[in-house]
Amino acid sequence: MNGAVSTPSVLTLTLKNRRAPPNSDQDAAAAASTDVDMGMAKKGHLSNIAARAFFMTWTADDLLHVARFHWLPCVFAAGLLFFMAVEYTLRMVPSSSPPFDLGFVATRHLHRVLASSPHLNTLFAALNTVFVGMQTVYILWTFLIEGRPRASISALFMFTCRGILGYSTQLPLPQGFLGSGVDFPVGNVSFFLFFSGHVAGSVIASLDMRRMQRFELAWTFEVLNVLQAVRLLGTRGHYTIDLAVGVGAGILFDSLAGKYVESKRKETFVAAAPNPSKTITTTKEAFLT
């Protein structure tokens, strides 16, 4: 009889592998006890489930083992409890007040410097625009010159999703925004705040560089991306959440584009399977069909 088989988690395997396997008599008894009619409630059935529950088999050694070898989920669990306490006790910002942004607090000194020096603000804006141009040129280069469409598809996915989200929730312009005529978008035109296409585009480019083992170039883009984020906070061009989601969006859409390219490559190979004599060129048929 065919049936679905669930894959045990790493944590389950970790705890179960640390115990001695049961003998055959115990196995037979356990198999007999589990052979019940799942459609009918039987006396003592719930108590049997509780007795066989996974957490009922935990020991102090198991918990110490998890804390030692799975410390990262333990940190996340502590973070969950901490931020639950923060969220449920922190007073919400009134609708009449500007939103609180920790990034704005951290860059308030830079904001004062840029506000008092328009020429310095213009210089930083021009350098940021050059960096955006570098991202664009690299992403187009990977497709038009190298024949690798993943980064370009990722950028298309990302900017389409950004447009939908940005239009759906149009955040107000932060107080103290320092615009510049040489900033991108050039000319102080309107733009969506959520999420940062500047940051997401840089992440997409740097991920492609790492795949191609262009590590020095990737490190350069990542450092420039951090400086770009600081500058955007200092000029109040983006909220902190815009930049953080921009990083996640770059990673997400790069992964989705990779799955898309791989699925199309498999479809091309499967379509050519009945005719082995057909030649498939990597740069055209495998990528563009």
Catalytic positions, please?
198, 238, 242
213 conformational bin, left if phi > 0, alpha if psi -120 to 50, beta if neither: left
Q: 185: cis peptide before it, omega within 30°?
A: yes
List b or e across 58-69, with b for residues whose CB sees 16 or more CB atoms inside 10 angstroms.
eeeebeeebeee
* Residues ≥6 apart with Cβ < 8 Å to 56: 50
How many contiguous H segments (helices) and E segments (strands) does the chain have?
13, 0
| Alpha carbon distance 81, 182 (integer Å) | 45
Count of Cβ atoms closer than 10 Å to residue 141 Cβ: 15
Q: Which of 213, 282, 198 is nearest to 247 (CA)?
A: 198
Sequence length of the chain is 289
User: Which two structure tokens, joined as six digits, stand for 16?
Assistant: 């179960």
Count of Cβ atoms closer than 10 Å to residue 241 Cβ: 17
User: Which two structure tokens, joined as six digits, stand for 173?
Assistant: 């312009």
* Residue indicated by tokens 């069909």: 289
Q: Are 200 and 142 in contact (CB under 8 A)?
A: no
User: 3-class DSSP state for residue 210?
Assistant: helix
Question: 125: exposed, middle or buried (C-beta count within 10 Å: 0-12, 13-18, 19+)?
Answer: buried
* Residue indicated by tokens 């992403």: 139
